[in-house]
Amino acid sequence: MYNSKIIGLGHYVPDNVVSNHDLSKVMDTSDEWIQERTGIKERRHVIPDQDTTTSMGVKAARIAIERAGIEKDDIDFIVFATLSPDYYFPGPGVLVQRDLGIKTVGALDVRNQCSGFIYAISVADQYIKSGMYKNVLVIGSELHSRGLDMTTRGRSVSVIFGDGAGAAVLTREDNNSKGILSTHLHSEGQHAEELSLIAPGMGKRWVTDIIEENNPDDESYFPYMNGQFVFKNAVVRFSEVIIEGLKANNLEADNIDLLVPHQANLRISQFIQNKFGLSDDQVFNNIMKYGNTTAASIPIALTEAWESNKVKDGDLVVLAAFGSGFTWGSAIIRW
Ligand code: ACO
C-alpha cells in the first residue's frame, strides 16, 4: 500500500480588508467585543464580480500546482470542499476542471463545512493509498461575505466569517512512514440545525418563499449559529479527535511539532493548546487576519505555516477541525 503526501500548497485571499471598525459602521458591534470573543481583528471580503468561490479556488490551486512541480495535466482527480458554491448545482469541482483547463478527470464536491478540508484530504488520501490515482488536487474555498446578514440582527454570525481559498496537491509516497499517516472523521447530525443555512434547499426555495409566501426577509436565507452550544461541542470534539489520531499512530501530544486547527475562534484554539500543553510555536493561528473561512481555513493556515518555515521535513503535523453538521475530523501527517 502507498501513502500520500502534500507536495504543493497555495492560498488566495481577496485584497479587500474589512476591519472590525469597518463592521461597526454598518452594525451595532465593536472591535473590543469581536477581539475579546473571537480573536479576529480583520477579515477579507471579495469585491463583488471580481471573485467567486471557484475563482479563488482556482487561484490557490495554480500556486499549489506550480509549487508541486507538476503540470496541470498530471492531476488525476479534483476534490473541492465548500459550503458556499457558486451555483446550487453543479458544484465547483467541475468549474475548476474547466477553468484550469485540465483534461476530463473526475471532480468531486465535498460539503462538511468547517471540516470540509479534512474530509477532502481524507478522500484524496484513500484514492492515492488504493493506487487508483497518483496526483489529487484538493481545494477549500469560501465566499461568505455575500451571504451574511450585515445588519445588527446578524452580528453574532457575520463578524466571524471571511472569504478566501487554499489548495493542496497530494501525490503518492512510497515511504510508508511519511505523508498522511491517518485521517479520522465523525458526524453527529442530530445537531444539524444548530449551525446551518436552511435555504435555499429543496425544502425552502426562492420560488415558494418569495412568490408564494411573499416573504423576502425570511431569516432562513442567512446562516444561523447557536454560538455557545457550538463552542462547547467544538472544544470536546477537537480534543477527542486529536487524541484518536495520535493513539492510532502510537503517538502522544509531546510528539506534535505543529498543530494547525481549523480557525473557528481563537479561544477554541487556545483551549486546545492549553489542554495539550503546547507552546505558541506549536500551534498555528491566523484567524486574527482572515476570520473563519470554514473549509478554506486549514489550507490557508497550512500554506502560511509552510511559507514561514514552520513545517519542516520529518515534522509531525496535526490538522483538526469541527463544524456544522456537526462534523469533525483530524489528519496526522509526517511531513
Ligand atoms: N457585537 C456586539 N455584541 C454582540 C455581537 C457582536 N458582533 N454578537 C452578539 N452580541 C451580543 C449579543 O446580542 C448578546 O447581547 P445580550 O447579552 O444583550 O443579549 C451578547 O453579545 C452575548 O451574546 P452571546 O451570543 O451569548 O455571546 P458569546 O459570548 O456566546 O459569543 C460567539 C458569541 C463569539 C459566537 C461565541 O459563542 C463563540 O465563539 N461560539 C463558538 C462558535 C464558533 O466558534 N463559531 C465559529 C463558526 S463555527 C465553526 O467554525 C465550527
pLDDT digits (tens, 9 = 90+) for 121-155: 999 999 999 999 999 999 999 999 999 999 999 99
Query: Residue 211's pLDDT is what?
Result: 61
C-alpha cell belonging to residue 38: 473571537
Compute the distance from residue 156 Cα to the ligand 1 centre, in Å: 5
- pLDDT band per the 50, 70, 90 thresholds, residue 209: low
* Structural domains in the chain plus CATH codes: 3-173 (3.40.47.10), 179-194+223-334 (3.40.47.10)
| pLDDT at residue 163, rounded to an integer | 98
Residue 222 CB–ligand 1 contact under 6 Å: no
Question: Residue 219: is its pLDDT beyond 90?
Answer: no
**pLDDT attached to residue 48:** 85
pLDDT at 302 over 70: yes
Cis peptide before 90 (omega within 30 of 0): yes
Residue 1 pLDDT: 75
Q: Does residue 246 surpass a pLDDT of 70?
A: yes
Average pLDDT over residues 204-210: 66
What pLDDT is stored for residue 252 in this prediction?
96
Catalytic annotation, residues: 114, 262, 292
209 CA from centroid of ligand 1 (Å) = 28
Q: How far is the CA of 266 from the centre of ligand 1 (A)?
A: 13
Cα–Cα distance for residue pair 323/113, rounded to 1 Å: 6
Q: Which of 8-17, 120-129, 146-155, 160-169 has the lowest mean pLDDT?
A: 146-155
For 143-194, where are the E strands, in sequence order?
Answer: 164-173, 179-187
Q: What is the mean pLDDT of the chain?
A: 95
Q: Give residue-wise pLDDT tens across range 173-187.
A: 988 889 999 999 999
159 pocket-lining for ligand 1 (C-beta < 6 Å): yes
Q: Is 327 in the pocket of ligand 1 (CB under 6 A)?
A: no
Structure ipTM over 0.95, yes or no: no
pLDDT of res. 40: 98
Q: Give the model's pLDDT for residue 200.
A: 81
3-class secondary structure, 108: strand
Please state, as a whole number, how many other Cβ atoms lie within 10 Å of the Cβ of residue 263: 30
pLDDT of res. 183: 98
Measured in Å, residue 254 CA sits from the centre of ligand 1 at 33
Mean pLDDT over 326-333 rounds to 98
What pTM was estimated for this model as a whole?
0.95
Whole-number Å distance between alpha carbons of 92 and 100: 12
CA-CA distance, 2 to 223, in Å (whole number)? 40
Residue 82, CA atoms < 13 Å, CB-side half-sphere: 34
CA–CA separation, 283 vs 256, rounded Å?
9
Segment 73-93 mean pLDDT? 97
CB-CB contact of 53 with 111 (8 Å): no
| Bridging pattern class, strands 135-142 and 77-81 | parallel
Query: What whole-number percentage of the chain has pLDDT above 70?
Result: 96
Q: Mean pLDDT over residues 189-194, rounded?
A: 97
Which ligand 1 atom is at minimum distance from the Cα of 155? 7
What was the pLDDT predicted at 195?
Answer: 96
**Ligand 1 contact via 320 beta carbon (within 6 Å):** no
Instruction: State residue 30's pLDDT score.
Output: 98
Predicted local distance difference test score (pLDDT) of residue 2 = 84
Model confidence at 208, pLDDT cuts 50, 70, 90, reads: low
Query: Distance (Å, rounded) from C-alpha 72 to C-alpha 65?
Result: 7
Task: Summarize pLDDT for 42-60 with one digit per residue, the tens.
Answer: 999 999 889 999 999 999 9
- Does the beta carbon of 271 sit less than 6 angstroms from any atom of ligand 1? no
Q: Which residues of 199-238 are buried (b: 16+ CB within 10 A; e: fewer)?
A: beeeeeeeeebeeeeeeeeeebbbbbbeeeebbebbbebb
Which grid coordinates belong to 284?
A: 498555528
Radius of gyration of the chain (CA): 19
